[in-house]
Each structure stands twice: as C-alpha cells, then as structure tokens.
Amino acid sequence: MTQNNKITIHHSDEVAQALAEGKPVVALESTIITHGMPYPQNIETAREVEAIIRENGAVPATIAVLKGELHVGLSDARLEELANAKDVMKASRADLSIALAMGRNASTTVAATMMAAHAAGIRVFATGGIGGVHFGAETSFDISADLEELGRTPVCVVSAFAKALLDLPKTLEVLETKGVPVIGYQCDKLPAFWSRTSDMDTPFRLDAPEDVAAMLRNRETFGDQGGELITNPVPAEDEIPAQEINGFIQKALAEAERQHIKGKDVTPFILQHIFELTEGRSLATNIALVKNNARLASAIAVSYAAKG
Ligand code: PSU
Ligand code: MN
C-alpha cells in the first residue's frame, strides 16, 4: 500500500515488489473486462493476458476500484470478483475520484488507467483499442476522454489504434493536435483494431521495443508532458479485413442511433452488437489483439527498465 498525493493505492504483492525493485511492470485496464467482453471470455482473457506479461519478463498490474479502494495489481480472486460483478461503474477521468468517494466498484477506462498507472509509477500500459472521436462528433461532440489523457499523462499506451467503430482520421487529427506521438510498430499503415491496416499512413514507424523505450527516455529528457500511442496490428491469422467488418460496424452504428444510445454506453453497446452480428468473431479478434499488445508492452517495459 502506498500513499501518493493522499491517494491510497493498494498493490498486489508482486506489483509492490516489482515497483520497489525497479522491475518492469505493465498496467492493464479493467473496462475491457467489465464492459468490453462477456463472461467468461472476459476473465479468461484477463488471466491469459497477465500470464503473457509474466512469460515475457514483466509484472502485470490490472487496475480497478473495488469497494472504493484503488487497486494497482489484482489477486486472482479479485480479478474473478470484478469479472462477475454486476453494477460496476465505467470510470474515466471524471468518474475515478467519485467512484472512490462513493465506495463503489468501478472499472477503469484507458484514461483512468493512465491516471492510476502514473500515480503508481508505471510507464507502460497495454490495452485493446483506445477510445477516440465518434462518427458524427461534429454534432454530438462525442470524443473520448482517452485522447485528452494521452495529451497530458506520461504513460505509453500499446493498442491496435482506436476501435474501428470510431472516426479514425478525426481521431488521428485530435492526437496530433494534442501533441501525442503516434507510432506504427513494424507497420506503415495505421491498424484499424480488428483489421491490420486502415488507409491512413502511420505518422512514424519504429521496429524494435528498444527504440520505443529510447523514445520514452528522450521524451522525459525534454520534459515532455503527455503519453505516447504505440499502434500494433493484430496478427494476420486473427484479423477481420476492413471490407468484411465495415458492413457490421455500419449496422451496429445505425442500431445505436435508432435506440438513442448516448455517452458512456455507446462503446459497450456497439462492441456487443458487432459481437452478435459477427457471431463471436469480433471477440476472438479482440482477444488476439489484446494478447499481442501485452507481448509488445512487456518487451517495451523490459527494455525501459533495463536502461533505467
Ligand atoms: N478496448 C477494447 N474494449 C473496450 C475498451 C477498449 O478492446 O471496451 C474500452 C476502454 O476502456 C476505452 C473505452 O477507454 O472502451 C472507451 O470508452 P469511451 O468511448 O466511452 O471513452
Ligand atoms: Mn464518449
């Protein structure tokens, strides 16, 4: 347990030890567990992702709020409790402190996970896809707080870019405005979550975890504020090509519109709808890309810790 700016952070034993010894740690979000995937695939994936991080020489730190306490690193029993719990808040930046004050169970989005990871001293974070600019944002103003967080909190986020149910060109523009480095990992085209490529070029390409770790150090040397976004394409054997998934995305977006889904419910609703339309294939791809991101994040964290 550590006190950081009066926030009490509860660590799992292995995370506490790794942080004390300067060993590599990879943060993991929990909204993907409570709102992104159905049970039991959510808990199975959470466990497998943690195992991948350990196999690759780092320590996993899944972040969540349980009964109003901020946990960085969950025991297996707590992970299971969260995956099964009903009525879990989806906490982004605006909600995190409220969830703590109310004594609630809350899962953390990319934005809230970055806040907690930074407070705990963790530099690298693996997720599936970040939130971004929704289609129609020019009238709805629906832009994920994840982008704002990337602009202000120094945590490196490894993802398959933003979920393809979002307006990807506008998402990239906002990231550029906020000064967030967007890196294609071993790719020249930006990935589009379920698909390996979009039709957009990656602003920059890096090919080795050591190069990513060096960039993080350089950013710190310059005193840069804010995070970095590493985009990592889903493995070829697991992808759903854009021409196949796009029709399903359009159908799910239309259904969300028809049912007047708003605010934080939009992303979980659309993910669930695409899952049904693809008869589970979108979930299999989502699981594969999260594991792939966990592998890369571990390698970056190992290299970053070695040079520290
Ligand atoms: N990645 C996934 N599934 C998810 C999410 C990411 O593969 O469910 C979650 C993340 O927690 C992300 C959130 O921060 O969706 C974005 O929600 P919103 O668009 O409401 O900001
Ligand atoms: Mn939103």
Ligand nearest to the Cα of 263, by number:
2
The C-alpha angle with vertex 34 and arms to 274 and 39, in degrees rounded to 5, equals 70
Q: What's the confidence (pLDDT) of residue 193?
A: 97
Q: Residue 104's beta-bridge partner residues? A: none
Helix (H, G, I), strand (E, B) or coil at 182: strand
DSSP letter (8 states) at residue 22: T
Q: What's the confidence (pLDDT) of residue 160?
A: 98
Selection from 113, 107, 95, 125 nearest residue 42 by Cα: 107
- The residue written with tokens 């506490």 in the block is 16
The whole model's pTM is what? 0.96
Q: What's the confidence (pLDDT) of residue 4?
A: 58
**Nearest CA owner, ligand 1 atom 21:** 144
Q: Which CATH class is domain 1-122?
A: alpha beta
| Nearby residues for ligand 2 (ion, Cβ within 5 Å) | 142
Query: Ligand 1, from 146, 194, 275: best to mutate by most atoms within 8 Å of Cβ?
Result: 146
239 included as an active-site residue: no
Q: Average model confidence (pLDDT) for the chain?
A: 95
6 included as an active-site residue: no
Q: What's the confidence (pLDDT) of residue 7?
A: 79
Q: What is the pLDDT of residues 232-245, one digit of tens each?
A: 999 999 999 999 99
Q: Ligand 1: residues whose CB is within 6 Å?
A: 29, 31-32, 35-36, 92, 109-110, 127-129, 131, 144-146, 264, 267, 271, 286
Q: Which atom of ligand 1 is nearest to the CA of 30?
A: 11
Selection from 302, 278, 182 nearest residue 231 by Cα: 182
Query: Ligand 1, from 32, 166, 174: best to mutate by most atoms within 8 Å of Cβ?
Result: 32
Q: Alpha helices, DSSP H only, in 155-280?
A: 168-177, 209-221, 242-258, 266-277
- The mean pLDDT of 152-159, rounded to a whole number, is 98
Q: What's the confidence (pLDDT) of residue 282?
A: 97
DSSP letter (8 states) at residue 25: E
Q: What's the confidence (pLDDT) of residue 3?
A: 59
Q: What's the confidence (pLDDT) of residue 224?
A: 79
Q: Which of 69, 81, 138, 163 is catalytic?
A: 163
DSSP letter (8 states) at residue 34: I
Residue 20 alpha carbon to ligand 1 centre in Å: 30
Q: What is the pLDDT of residues 29-49, one digit of tens each?
A: 999 999 999 999 999 999 999
The H or E element spanning position 7 is strand 7-11
Percentage of residues of the chain with pLDDT beyond 70: 97
**Nearest CA owner, ligand 1 atom 11:** 109
Question: Is residue 1 predicted with pLDDT exceeding 70?
Answer: no
Ligand nearest to the Cα of 90, by number:
1
Q: Specify binding-site residues for substrate.
A: 90, 110, 144-146
> How far apart, in whole angstroms, are the C-alpha atoms of residue 242 and residue 71?
37
Selection from 153, 150, 143 nearest residue 122 by Cα: 153
